[in-house]
Structures are given as C-alpha cells and as structure tokens.
C-alpha cells in the first residue's frame, strides 16, 4: 500500500496555490491528509502533485465575526476542539468535534479538509449544514462564497470549483443563548456514522422556541438540515410530542441513502430517534426552555 | 517514481535528514531511512494506530503523513522515550508492571499515546484512558492491562514529581 | 506436582521478561530485518472469483526502472512441489500462486520483484493478465450439492471431507428421550487478524546452499515444509526463530509466502522480502478462519438432562484445502463440551468454494463448536422451562468423575465445573444480576444475560490428522528444551520456536528457575535457529505451558539428577542419600553440602572427580511427548488433546432497542486452567480472547458479495474491537491441577475466545426473547438487531 508517485509542492501564498490548481487538473490539495492519504495508499486517489496548503498563513486561525466564527480552512480539528472561543460561541461544533475520527486523526485533520471532503456521515459538514453556514474559496479569478445548502452536492461531492482552494468555513453564531444536542450511532464509536443528528435551539423568556435547527448526517447523500422541523417547532415549547410529530413528517420525506452497512429502514428509524434525542437535548440545555 | 527530495526532520531532539520520494510516508522514512523501527505498519490506512508517533507532543498517524510534510515539527518516537540505554521511563515501566502487552507490536504506539495523555491530563479517569487509546487497536490484550498500566503510570508520576519524561 | 502455594516462582506475581524490549520499541519483527541488497515483492491479484488465466504479459512491468523480475504462478509451479494438503485430496492441488486458473478474488497470479516495495506496486499495476471468467460458488450449502461447479475440476466435486462418526447408541438415546429439538446456528467467517501482517525475508546463499528465512510464523514443521516444497534438503533451510511475531493467534502460517520468496531469492541470488500489506493480508493472505453452519439435533429429558446429540458441521474451507478441514476434527476432542452427553453423531463436512483459503484460527475450530453446543443448551433450557444455569448444572460432568471418557474417545483430565460456576454466581450475586437485568428492562432497554460453559482442550497434538486421514499415522507432537550451565555457573535455556506474544521466555525461565531453585531473572533464554534446534511443533493448540513447560521441567530434572550424582560420588554415598535444593546438593544424613559453584566446577573442570562414565559438562535435554497421546484412532475414536481447561462466562448486556447497540454492563469469567505459571500472561490471554470473541459475536466478518468479491478488505470494513467496545472483565479464578502435567498446568492460549461468542450471543438472545426473537448467526450486527426488533414490534413506540 504505497501511494503512486507524485510531486510535492508547498506554495508560500494562496495565489500560488490557486495558480498550480489552474495549471494542473490532476493536482490535489493536502492539508491534514487524514482522508486523502489512505485513499492514496490504496491508489484510489493518484494526484500528479500534492499541493500542501497546511501552512498557508491565509488559512490559519479562528476569527470571531460577531454573527459567525470564521475558521481558516487549515485550522486543525484538535485546535478547534480545544479552543475556548469555540466552546463559548459554537457549542454545537464543540459537542460534535470529539466524534470526529480519533484524537490522533484530529491532531492532523483540518476543519476545511473535512468540509471539502463532504462525507455524508462526517460531523463537521453536518454542523455546518445544520447551522446554515457557508464556505469561502479562492481561485485565480478571485474569491467566492457558497452557502452550505448549495455546497454539498452528493457523497464526496461539492459545488466547489475544481481549481478552487477552500479558504474559510463560516459557522453562524446565534445572537440568543442556545442549547445544543448531538447524537450519532456507528458500529464502533468513532467509526463513520450510520446516522448522526445535530440540533440547536433558542428560547425566549416564556419558554417558547425562538429558533431551532436540526440536521441529519449519514441518512441522506448529503448532510441535511430539516427545514420543516425548524419551521414547525419555532414558536412552540418543543414538547416531546411536538418534536416527534415534526420529525415524523420530515424524516418520511427524506431521501435515504442505501449501502451495505445499514438498511434504509434502519437509517430512517434511527434518524427519527436520534433527531428527536438531539432536539430534546438542545431544548433541555437551552436557557429558558420549559416544555 | 519521482525524484527524491531531501527532508530535514527533528526527531527525538536531533536533526535528521533523508533523501526520499515525496510519496514516502513519514512512517517509512522513520523506519527505512532513519532506522527507527519502533513505529510499526499495521494497516497503512490510518485505522489501527500501530504507527503512532508524537508530533509536537500530540499523537499522530505516521502512515497518514508524507515525510515531506513533517519538517518543522518536533517528532517523538518510542526510541526517544527511554531516559538512558537499558533504563525505562515511568510509563514504560508501568506497562511492564501490568504486562500491558503481549506480542509488543502495538506497544510503542500505546506507550506514546499514554505519554501524550498523561502530559495533558495527569490523573485521567478510566473513561479518559479508554478514549485516549481507542484509536490504537490491540489484538492481544483486550486492553485491560493497558488501561491498568496507564493508571499505574499516572499514580507513579504523581508521586515522582517528574512529569512525563521525554514528553514536551 | 506441587500445590500452588508451594511454588517460589511459578504462579507468582512476576514480570514478563519480554516486555522490556517491547516498551522500548526494541522488538525485532520481520519488517525490521534488513539484509544487504534486499529486494521487495508485490503481488498481482485476480480480480475474479474464478477465471481461467489466458495470458500474463509482463513487458511493461519489466520496463520500469528498478524492476527485477516478474514471476507467474505457472513458472513457480514448474519449480516447486505443491503445498501440503492435510487430507488425502491429491487433486486439490495448491501452489503459492494460481496455476492456469484463479480460484478466488484476490488470489495471487503473479509476483513482481523490485528494488523497493513502491516500485514493485507500480509494476504490479502494469502486469497485464487476460482472464476468462468462470462460474463460481460462494455459498457452502450450494457448494455441497452435487450440481455445484467444482472449484477444482479434477477433484470432481467441492466436497473435501464428508465423514460421519457415531459414538454410542445415538438412535436408542433419541428414541428414549422425552424431547427432541433441532437448531441451526451459523458462525460467520472471521479471523484473528493480527496487527502485524504476515512477512518473510528469504536469503539464498549459493556458496553454502542455504536458504536463510526470517518470518513472522507460528507454524508447526515450517522449515520442513519449506524445504520439501523448494526441493531442498531439510538442512538446507535455516529458519531464524529469534524474530518477534506481531500477533498470530493461529493464522501466521505463511507457507505459500515463504515458498514464493524462497524461490525468488534462489532465482535472483538476492535477499527477497514480502511483507503483506493490509489489503493483501485480508484478501489473499489465506488467513481467514472457520465459516461454519451447524445443524444440531438434541435429545433430552424433561428435567433438562441431555442424552444425545446429532451435529452436522458444514464448513466453507475456501478455495484450497490446507489444514482447514482439520478444524472440524479437533473439536471432536471436546464434542460434548463439559456435559455428560452419552452419545453423539457428528457429521463433519468441509467444502471448497471461491472464497479465500482458510487457515488455523485460535481454538482450531473449537470456538464455533462451543457456540453451537452452548446455543443448544440454552434452547434445551428454554424448551423444558428450567433455568439455563440449572440445566447446565444437571448436565455437567461431576468433579468426582475424572478422568472422564467422552463418547468420541478423549479422556478429560480433570475439572470442577460446578464449583467454577458457583464461584461466578457468588461473585456476581446472581439474584442481584437478575434484578439489574429486570431493572434495565423496566427502563425500556432490552437487557439480557448470557452464559457459556466451555472447554479449552490444550496441550495440542495432532490426533485429528490420523483421525481424518488414514494415510497419516502421526502419534507424536513433541516439544523440546535444552538447558546448559556454563563454566561460570549461569544457566541458558534453549527453546525452539518463534513467539507471538505468549511469553515463552518467561515461561521457560520460570519453570527452569522453579525446578532448579534458581532466580529465573538470571536465566537466559536462547532461540537457536532451526538447524540448531531440537524437534518441536510451535505454539499451537494451547500447548506451550504444558509442552514447553513440561520439557523444561523434565530437562531440569535431568540436570538435578546429574548434580546429585556428582555430589553423591564426592560424598561417597548413594544418589538416593542426597537432596537437591536451590543449587546445592546436601547429604541427608550428614548435612554435607556441595554448592552450585562446586558442582559446576566439577562438571566443567574435574573429570577425575566425576562418577565413572559420566560425561563432563552440565547440560540436559528433554524431548517431551504429549501426555496421554500415543495411540492411533480406533473405530473413529481417539484421545485428542490431553488437558482440558474450563471457562464459565457470564455477561449482562443492555441494548437500545432502536439503535440496536449492545452495551456490556457486566462481564465475568470463571477460569480454571490448572496451575498458572505466570498470572499476568494468563490474564492477558483471557482478556484478549474475550476481545476476539466479542469481535466475532458482534462485528468481525469477511463478507463476500454475490459477485464473489470480498467486501471487507480494509479496517474500515472489517471492524476490530477498540477499547470502547471492550468491557471491563472480572476474572474469577479456580485451580484444578491436571494430573498429567509436570506442575498441574493446563493451557490458556485460547481462553476467553472459546466461550465469549456463545456468551454474547446468549445475552442478546435473552434480551430479545421477550419479543419472540432469536439470532442464530454471528456476527450479530447492531443494525440487524434494530431491524429485527422493529419488525417484531411494529406498533410499539419505544422512544427512550
């Protein structure tokens, strides 16, 4: 299991990286490499050159933009996991990060890499979709921006232009205090999820839901935010019964992914259950909720 | 095949160079070029953890990184842990105390992972130990005596006042 | 035989000496072996489960810089002997690589040798093979039918073995019994999958006509098999036993790898190495384990007493025979488990299929058989409405009945099954455990308790060979130890095998230290290469505590006798008038003493002080025959292994009914392997075996698709339990010494694995029993549990 031969470049600027991608369609970006390296070892990926963007200064750091936290694409998952800023401002991401791979893979894997890889069962893309975030990218033609709901196009497929460098990932931060919930099921803890569910909710002083969001991973071809659930539960107290009812319809409408690991029935059943658990956790951990 | 490039790595506190193809993993570079054979190949696709090394004190998979990516990091392999030839560090000794191994193949990775854990958490709970080693597969022990070894090491480190030797 | 309390070193809390080098990263594994000018091998694999090989074109591969050779299966077959078959099936020929026809997806078709492994892989992609796909068969039952396509056309069918044994009055016992029931359970194809893949380095020296071999092996008669296949004299192969093996648990056999690499080294006059990568290991390492369907009928009384059993075991051996069919033979030595079942009909069927070839796996077929027997006992209990524990209690062989002859000819050496079970029940506080299960159930979880009472036959010999192949008349499976005391008085012990984590250096030094009364830490253990080795059969069949321990103890005894003779001669008394203790010989009557240094001095320097005819030096050798095992089979009956360890598993699981995930709330094992030599080693074996068993029960399987492709080739698909999946295991000890062994010891190398799958399966089935469900195929994946539970209770809303 040795990778096919390639050449290695480490551009010193973002512009340089963009130029390489434009010139060579077989070039691939590498940052953490925790997904790409095994694909290369099995020769399922055979880039002509690896463009190492892990140390580009343009891709580093987490910035607080008020209504969002903006992660440089090369921010390591472990770095985000330990960031007090993430813990305080993005509790949903903080809750999901320990589920990403294992600690040794999080110490190398990046936020941007996970998003760009677009595994339907991956946790970071799920949180991005659930919160309705966005990504920034750069090509030789200049910067661009794609909202999460348009970004994930299918399993391991995104709307990112082929010669683009994903530069930043924007996770919205709500202005009101939130509660969050995250659940997933896999054969072993830290395996890819058969189904995962992420939820966030906010309540007013009367215990009425101001806003909530629920996303499901692993169930469909892309991480999916269930818009109808958010609509149904807003303005309600989010009782268990209301949650169950909202999920019933939303999950029934979902186009469930099929593979050899779990039956579609399993995914649908568990999506409903984990969705409900995530929402209940979000509710119960949110200030002001009184179901 | 593509042209070899020279990599300069900081391994166990010393600067080492090697001429490798870009496709050479850090694992193969350490083992084949630098003759540090304590890191082992188990799956070469990032699941078993037998190749674990420390990068700036954090456990990482040496099979999921190319050597050309590894300059500028402090790399620690199991060979960098023993305080002196023939002398075991506290963590290593604790693994011997509880027999936290059988065939020894996953052991260097387990010992390094334990080091990293104890460096950031001096008194881990059993659950924290289980979580820390969960990325390292052991087929021999069922993990029980490995967990015990880390518990023993934590207790000994607490009274030794030494901190985790060799760790950053 | 001494009671445990009388030992100075045996059974004591002493460190395992091998561990020091491992924690320092100083183990020396085959991938760490470097030879000057060493070349590397990669393989070309068949993409088809069955295909005729029309042509192999290697020009493009050879044109790549750094490529030395491309060898096809046909070229290799012309130069070597076929690999050994266990059974007498001459038309099921096996060579290291496919010859003319590929018989499973992944099978080696050609080998590429290059300066680096990466280049060899580059070149392997460039070897062009033209195939004509052929019909194939994956399913064992289909393969068993006469109309299935034979994997080996010349053999005429897929049946390698179809043998029915009848031991005792089976039909009569069935007719006399109050109840009968039938069940089918299926053991999925899994394996022990060591973290180190198989690897071998071979180096041919044309100036001494010697093939040096370093390999990660655990294989009886490895050097002999290599020499035979390569048409070399036996003393032309030197296997280096001082290689640490990174786990094996049965599977590291590597004959085909070694024959290939040995031949390549001779062709190229260069050292050649093949280290399987993980994909090669999984799909073409020929290291999968049993793959077995059991059809069991059982006859029993209303009180739960089992009278007779009919079992058919249909095993899918894969594409070649090898030793796989013998894994149906070994369990004959414990075919009734720990129970007093009076008669048995056993049909052992092994078929070829277009799956990868099977190899020996921990327990050599015993774990699947135990799973079938224990599933049967649970069904009997449910049928008669008597508690599972009580049914087992009523059927257990009593402690006063040993040695106990089972219908198939094996005499169990010793045991106290009732006491071990009672100790476990006391430890868990059985009523409290039941209450905990019921409490979990009341919260909406599924919860169940599983039990398994299983034997670990140990002291492995090969009685299954003559039993299943009448051309094979092997009646010994010896092991040897040599002890040498040098002129300075220090002791070296020679053992003649590789080790894969069993701690043989600790075993040998502990036993010799105990016998000689010398500090084991000062005893060196040496592994000569195969040319300097005495006969042995490698650490298979839970044998080394018994066999290496036995040889070591008896060699030490010879050494003591020599010391006594030297001293008695000096004292002018009879040998019987002196005692040996802790290195000194004392004349009983006078208290006169000859100390160790003096004994050594006389032996090494003073021939004039030696008794007449005594050889100088202080050395002893013992080649130890397996106890109680020198007979050929009679009427399909034979003594299989000599000793029988016992384990009683009890586990409480909780299952989220929607997610299906099995969580262990309690795992207890009562373990009796006689006198324990090193408690740390036995504990580790037991816990590790349970981990293997949990994997087999819940997640590990080599899955083949309908297209004949193996779908679990990576560690992302073949799931090994991590620390999260392993419960904390509580061990309850018991010691029933074996009367057959030097210290009362029995084997423990397979412990845990032999009962855990049955216990876990039993717990899950107890949990789902209220829903009318039963799982009868391993592994029981969580998705399967969830789907079944949902189907069984469609209307229920079991929101937790």
User: Model confidence over A82-111: pLDDT tens digits?
Assistant: 999 999 999 999 999 999 999 999 999 999
Given a contact cutoff of 8 angstroms between Cβ atoms, the answer to whether C621 and C485 are in contact is: no
Question: Could you read off the pLDDT of C609-654 as tens digits, one per residue?
Answer: 999 999 999 999 999 999 998 899 999 999 999 999 999 999 999 9
Q: Is residue C145 part of a domain?
A: no
CATH number at residue C615: 3.30.365.10
Chain A and chain C share a number of CB contacts under 8 A equal to 65
Q: What is the mean pLDDT of residues C491-518?
A: 98
C170 found inside a domain: no
**Model confidence pLDDT, tens digit, residues C517-573:** 999 999 999 999 999 999 999 999 999 999 999 999 999 999 999 999 999 999 999
Check whether residue C526 and residue C405 sit in a common domain. Answer: no
Domain B90-160 class, CATH top level: mainly alpha
In this predicted structure, what is the pLDDT of residue C630?
81
SS3 for C684? helix
Fold category of A7-52 in CATH: 3.30.43
Report the CATH superfamily, name and number, of domain A179-285.
CO dehydrogenase flavoprotein, C-terminal domain (3.30.390.50)
Packing angle of the helix pair B107-120, B126-133 (nearest 10 deg): 130
Residue C208, in any domain of the structure: yes
H/E element, C734: strand C729-734
What are the strands of the beta sheet with A209-217, ordered from one edge?
A179-185, A195-203, A209-217, A224-225
Residue-wise DSSP of A209-246: EEEEEEEEESSSSS-EE-HHHHHHHTTS---HHHHHHH
C130-176 pLDDT, tens digit each = 999 999 999 999 999 999 999 999 999 999 999 999 999 999 999 99
C607 and C638 inside one domain = no
Domain final residue, candidates C597, C624, C651: C624
C242 touches chain B (CB under 8 A): no
Count of Cβ atoms closer than 10 Å to residue C535 Cβ: 13
Q: Is beta strand A209-217 parallel, antiparallel or unpaired with respect to A195-203?
A: antiparallel
Is the confidence at residue C200, as pLDDT, over 50?
A: yes
Does position C305 have pLDDT exceeding 90, yes or no?
yes
Query: Chain C within 8 Å of A99 (Cβ-Cβ)?
Result: no
Instruction: Indicate the SS3 state at residue C345.
Output: strand
Chain A residues in contact with C278 by the CB 8 A cut-off are 1
In the predicted model, is pLDDT for residue C242 greater than 60?
Answer: yes
C798 has pLDDT over 70: no
CA distance A241 to chain B (A): 34
Within its chain, how far is the Cα of C492 from the centroid? 28
Number of helical H runs and strand E runs in chain B: 5, 5
Band (pLDDT 50/70/90 cuts) for residue B160 is confident
Domain boundary residue, one of C595, C624, C653? C624
Residues 6 or more apart whose CB falls under 8 angstroms from that of A86 comprise A62, A69, A80, A93, A94, A97
Q: What is the DSSP string of B16-57?
A: EEEEE-TT-BHHHIIIIIS--TTS--S-SSSSS-TTEEEETT
Which chains have at least 3 CB atom pairs separated by less than 8 Å from chain A? B, C
Quick check: A3 and B23 CB within 8 A?
A: yes
Of all residues in chain C, the one with the smallest CA distance to B92 is: C23
Read off the pLDDT of residues B107-147 as tens digits, 9 standing for 90 and up. Answer: 999 999 999 999 999 999 999 999 999 999 999 999 999 99
Cβ-Cβ contacts under 8 Å, A4 against chain B: 23
| B166: confidence class by pLDDT, cuts 50, 70, 90 | very low
Across the interface, whether the CB atoms of A187 and C787 are under 8 A apart is answered no
Distance CA A13, CA A222 (A): 32
**Is residue B49 within 8 Å of residue B135, measured between CB atoms?**
yes
Whether residues B45 and C715 touch (CB distance < 8 A) is answered with: yes
C508 and C713 Cβ atoms separated by less than 8 Å:
no
Q: Tell me whether residue C265 is in a domain.
A: yes
Of the partner residues A4, A50, A105, the one whose CB lies closest to the CB of residue B46? A105
What are the Cα distances from residue B85, in Å, to A131, B111, C507? 54, 17, 26
Task: Check if A44 contacts B (Cβ < 8 Å).
Answer: no
How far C278 CA sits from the closest chain B CA (Å)?
A: 5
Give CA angle at C59 (C55, C65), nearest 5°.
145
Secondary structure tally for chain A: helices H, strands E: 12, 14
Q: Are residues C367 and C321 in the same domain?
A: yes
Confidence at residue C800, expressed as pLDDT on a 0 to 100 scale: 37
Instruction: Identify whether C515 is preceded by a cis peptide bond (ω within 30 of 0).
Output: no
Compute the 3-state secondary structure of chain B and give helix, strand, coil in percent, each to the nearest 5: 40, 15, 45
Q: For residue C123, give the chain A residue with the closest CA.
A: A4
ipTM of the modeled complex: 0.97
Per-residue pLDDT, averaged over C410-438, amounts to 98
Structure confidence at residue A263 (pLDDT): 95
C598 and C534 housed in the same domain: yes
Which of C25, C197, C724 lies nearest to residue B79, judging by beta carbons? C25
Task: Confirm whether C153 is domain-assigned.
Answer: no
Same domain, C425 and C484: no
Q: Nearest by CB to A52, from B23, B69, B135: name it.
A: B69
C contacts of A188 (beta carbons < 8 Å): 699, 719, 721-722, 724-725
pLDDT in tens, C721-747: 999 999 999 999 999 999 999 999 999
In the predicted model, is pLDDT for residue C3 greater than 70? no
- Mean pLDDT, rounded, of chain C: 96
Contact C659 A185 (CB under 8 A): yes
Q: From the list B88, B142, B144, which residue is nearest C23 (CB)?
A: B88
Q: What is the pLDDT of residue A291?
A: 84
**B156 to chain C, closest Cα gap in Å:** 17
Write out the residue range of the structural domain in which residue C512 sits: 4-26+478-624
Identify which of B92, B99, B126 has the shortest CB distance to residue C681.
B99
User: Domain tally for chain C?
Assistant: 3
Which percentage of chain A shows pLDDT scores above 90? 96
Per-residue confidence (pLDDT) for residue C322, from 0 to 100: 86
State the average pLDDT for chain B: 95
Chain C residues with CB under 8 Å of B129 CB are 723
DSSP A102-139: -HHHHTT-BHHHHHHHT-TT-HHHHHHHHHT-EEEEEE
Nearest to C771 by CA among C451, C452, C449, C448: C448
Under an 8 A CB cutoff, do C245 and B95 touch? no
CB contact under 8 A, C722 and A244: no
Residue-wise burial string across C209-235, b where 16 or more C-beta atoms lie within 10 A, e elsewhere: ebbbbbbbbbbbbbbebbbbbbebeee
pLDDT at res. A190: 82
Pairing of β C210-215 and β C237-240: parallel
Which strands form B74-76's sheet, in the order they lie side by side? B14-20, B5-11, B74-76, B52-55, B58-61
- Domain with residue C208: its CATH number is 3.90.1170.50
* Residue C672 sits in the same domain as residue C735: yes
Cβ contact (<8 Å) for B23 and A30?
no
The residue of A48, A79, A104, A186 whose CB has the most chain B CBs within 10 angstroms, and thus the best one to mutate to test that interface, is: A104
Backbone phi and psi for residue A64, each to the nearest 5 degrees, phi listed first: -95, 110
My answer on whether C713 and C577 are in the same domain is no
The answer to whether C653 touches C665, Cβ cutoff 8 Å, is yes
In this prediction, residue C6 carries a pLDDT of 86
Same domain for C637 and C618: no
Q: Which residues in chain B are contacts of C282 at CB distance < 8 A?
A: none
All structural domains of chain B with their residue ranges: 5-80, 90-160
Domain limit, last residue, from C624, C651, C672 = C624
**Out of 3.20.20.140, 1.10.510.10, 3.10.20.30, 3.40.640.10, which CATH number does the structure's domain B5-80 have?**
3.10.20.30
3-state SS class at A174: coil
Nearest C-alpha of chain C: how many angstroms from B99? Answer: 6
Cα–Cα dist C368/C294, whole Å: 9
Give me the architecture of the A57-172 domain, per CATH: 2-Layer Sandwich (3.30)
In this chain, the answer to whether the domains covering B5-80 and B90-160 adopt an identical fold is: no
């Amino acid at each position: 299991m040795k990778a096919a031969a390639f050449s290695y470049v480490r551009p010193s600027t973002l512009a340089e990286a963009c130029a390489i991608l434009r010139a060579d369609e077989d070039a691939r970006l590498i940052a953490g490499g925790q997904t790409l390296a095994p694909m290369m070892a099995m020769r399922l990926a055979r880039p002509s050159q690896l463009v190492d963007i892990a140390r580009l200064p343009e891709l580093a750091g987490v910035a607080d933009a008020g209504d969002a936290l903006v992660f440089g694409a090369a921010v390591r998952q472990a770095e985000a996991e330990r960031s007090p800023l993430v813990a305080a401002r993005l509790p949903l991401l903080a809750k999901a990060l320990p589920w990403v791979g294992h600690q040794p893979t999080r110490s190398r894997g990046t936020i941007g890499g996970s998003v760009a890889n677009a595994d339907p069962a991956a946790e970071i893309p799920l949180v991005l979709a659930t919160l309705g975030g966005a990504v920034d990218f750069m090509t030789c033609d200049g910067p661009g921006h794609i909202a999460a709901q348009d970004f994930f196009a299918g399993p391991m497929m995104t709307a990112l232009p082929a010669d683009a460098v994903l530069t930043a990932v924007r996770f919205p931060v709500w202005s009101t205090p939130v509660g969050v919930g995250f659940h997933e099921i896999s054969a072993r803890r830290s395996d890819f999820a058969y189904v995962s569910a992420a939820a966030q909710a906010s309540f007013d002083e009367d215990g009425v839901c101001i806003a909530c969001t629920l996303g499901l991973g692993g169930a469909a071809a892309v991480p999916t935010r269930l818009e109808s659930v958010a609509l149904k539960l807003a303005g309600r107290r989010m009782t268990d019964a209301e949650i169950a009812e909202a999920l019933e319809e939303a999950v029934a409408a979902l186009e469930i992914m099929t593979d050899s690991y779990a039956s579609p029935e399993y995914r649908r059943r568990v999506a409903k259950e984990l969705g409900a658990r995530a929402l209940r956790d979000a509710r119960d951990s949110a200030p002001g909720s009184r179901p | 095949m593509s042209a070899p490039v020279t990599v300069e790595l900081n391994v166990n506190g010393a600067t080492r160079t090697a001429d490798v193809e870009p496709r050479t993993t850090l694992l193969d570079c350490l083992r084949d070029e630098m003759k540090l054979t304590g890191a082992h190949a188990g799956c070469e696709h990032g699941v078993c953890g037998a190749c674990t090394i420390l990068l700036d004190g954090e456990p990482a998979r040496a099979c999921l990184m190319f050597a050309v990516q590894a300059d500028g990091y402090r790399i620690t392999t199991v060979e960098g842990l023993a305080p002196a030839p023939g002398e075991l560090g506290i963590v290593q000794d604790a693994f011997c105390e509880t027999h936290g191994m059988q065939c020894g193949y996953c052991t260097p990775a387990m010992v390094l992972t334990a080091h990293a854990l104890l460096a950031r958490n001096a008194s881990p709970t059993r659950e924290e130990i289980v979580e820390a080693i969960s990325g390292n597969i052991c087929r021999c022990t069922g993990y029980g005596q490995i967990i015990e070894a880390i518990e023993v090491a934590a207790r000994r480190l607490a009274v030794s006042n030494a901190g985790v030797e060799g760790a950053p | 035989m001494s009671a445990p309390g009388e030992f100075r070193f045996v059974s004591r809390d002493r460190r395992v000496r091998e561990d020091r080098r491992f924690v320092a990263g100083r183990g020396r594994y085959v991938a760490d072996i470097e030879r000057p000018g060493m070349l590397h091998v990669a393989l070309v694999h068949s993409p088809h489960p069955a295909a005729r090989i029309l042509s192999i074109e290697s020009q493009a591969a050879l044109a790549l810089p750094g490529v030395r050779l491309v060898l096809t299966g046909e070229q290799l077959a012309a130069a070597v002997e076929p690999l050994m078959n266990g059974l007498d099936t001459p038309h099921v020929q096996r060579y290291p690589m496919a010859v003319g026809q590929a018989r499973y997806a992944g099978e080696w078709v050609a080998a590429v040798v290059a300066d680096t492994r990466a280049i060899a892989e580059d070149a392997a992609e460039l070897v062009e093979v033209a195939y004509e796909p052929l019909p194939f068969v994956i399913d064992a039952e289909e393969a068993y039918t006469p109309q299935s396509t034979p994997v080996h056309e010349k053999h005429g069918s897929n049946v390698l073995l179809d043998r029915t044994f009848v031991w005792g009055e089976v039909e009569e016992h069935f007719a006399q019994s109050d109840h009968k029931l039938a069940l089918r359970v299926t053991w999925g194809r899994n394996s022990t999958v060591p973290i180190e893949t198989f690897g071998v380095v071979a180096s041919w020296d044309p100036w001494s006509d010697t093939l040096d071999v370093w390999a990660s092996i655990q294989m009886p008669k490895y050097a002999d098999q290599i020499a035979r296949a390569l048409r070399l004299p036996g003393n032309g192969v030197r296997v280096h036993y001082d290689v640490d093996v990174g786990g094996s648990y049965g599977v590291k056999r590597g004959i085909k790898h070694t024959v290939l690499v040995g031949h390549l080294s001779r062709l190229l006059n260069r050292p050649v190495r093949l280290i399987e990568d993980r994909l090669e290991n999984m799909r073409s390492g020929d290291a999968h384990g049993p793959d077995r369907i059991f059809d069991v009928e059982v006859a029993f009384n209303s009180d739960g007493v089992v009278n007779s059993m009919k079992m058919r075991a249909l095993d899918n051996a894969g594409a070649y025979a090898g030793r796989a069919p013998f894994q149906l033979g070994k369990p004959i030595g414990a075919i009734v488990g720990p129970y007093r079942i009076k008669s048995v009909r056993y049909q052992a069927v092994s078929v070829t299929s277009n799956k990868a070839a099977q190899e020996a796996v921990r327990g050599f077929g015993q774990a699947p058989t135990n799973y079938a027997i224990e599933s049967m006992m649970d069904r009997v209990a449910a049928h008669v409405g008597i508690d599972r524990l009580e049914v087992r209690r009523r059927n257990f062989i009593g402690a006063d009945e040993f040695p106990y002859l089972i219908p198939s000819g094996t005499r169990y050496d010793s045991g106290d099954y009732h006491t071990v079970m009672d100790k476990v029940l006391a430890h868990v506080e059985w009523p409290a455990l039941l209450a905990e299960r019921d409490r979990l159930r009341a919260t909406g979880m599924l919860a169940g308790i599983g039990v398994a009472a299983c034997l670990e036959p140990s002291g492995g010999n090969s009685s299954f060979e003559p039993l299943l192949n009448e051309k094979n008349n092997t009646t010994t499976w010896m092991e040897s130890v040599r002890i040498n005391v040098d002129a300075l008085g220090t002791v070296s012990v020679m053992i003649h095998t590789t080790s894969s984590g069993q701690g043989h250096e600790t075993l040998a030094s502990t036993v010799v230290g105990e016998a000689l009364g010398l500090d084991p830490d000062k005893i060196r253990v040496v592994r000569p290469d195969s040319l300097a080795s005495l006969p042995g059969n490698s650490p298979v069949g839970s044998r080394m505590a018994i066999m290496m321990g036995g040889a070591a103890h008896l060699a030490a005894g010879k050494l003591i006798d020599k010391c006594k003779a030297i001293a008695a001669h000096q004292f002018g008394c009879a040998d019987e008038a002196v005692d040996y203790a802790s290195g000194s010989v004392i004349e009983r009557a006078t208290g006169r003493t000859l100390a160790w240094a003096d004994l050594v001095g006389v032996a090494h320097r003073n021939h004039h002080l030696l008794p007449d005819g005594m050889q100088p030096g202080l050395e002893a050798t013992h080649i130890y025959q397996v106890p109680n095992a020198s007979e050929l089979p009679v009427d399909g009956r034979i003594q299989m292994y000599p000793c029988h360890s016992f384990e009683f598993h009890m586990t409480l699981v909780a299952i989220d009914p929607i997610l299906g995930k099995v969580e262990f709330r309690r795992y207890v094992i009562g373990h009796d392997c006689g006198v324990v030599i090193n408690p740390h080693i036995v504990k580790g074996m037991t816990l590790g075996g349970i981990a293997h068993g949990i994997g087999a029960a819940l997640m590990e399987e080599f899955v083949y698709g309908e297209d004949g492709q193996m779908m679990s080739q990576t560690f992302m698909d073949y799931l090994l339990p991590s620390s999260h999946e392993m419960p904390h295991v509580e061990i309850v000890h018991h010691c029933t010494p074996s009367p057959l062994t030097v210290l009362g010891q029995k084997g423990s190398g397979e412990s845990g694995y032999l009962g855990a799958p049955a216990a876990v399966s039993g717990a899950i089935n107890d949990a789902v029993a209220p829903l009318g469900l039963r799982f009868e195929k391993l592994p029981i994946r969580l998705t399967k549990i969830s789907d079944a539970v949902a189907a069984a209770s469609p209307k229920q809303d079991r929101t937790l």
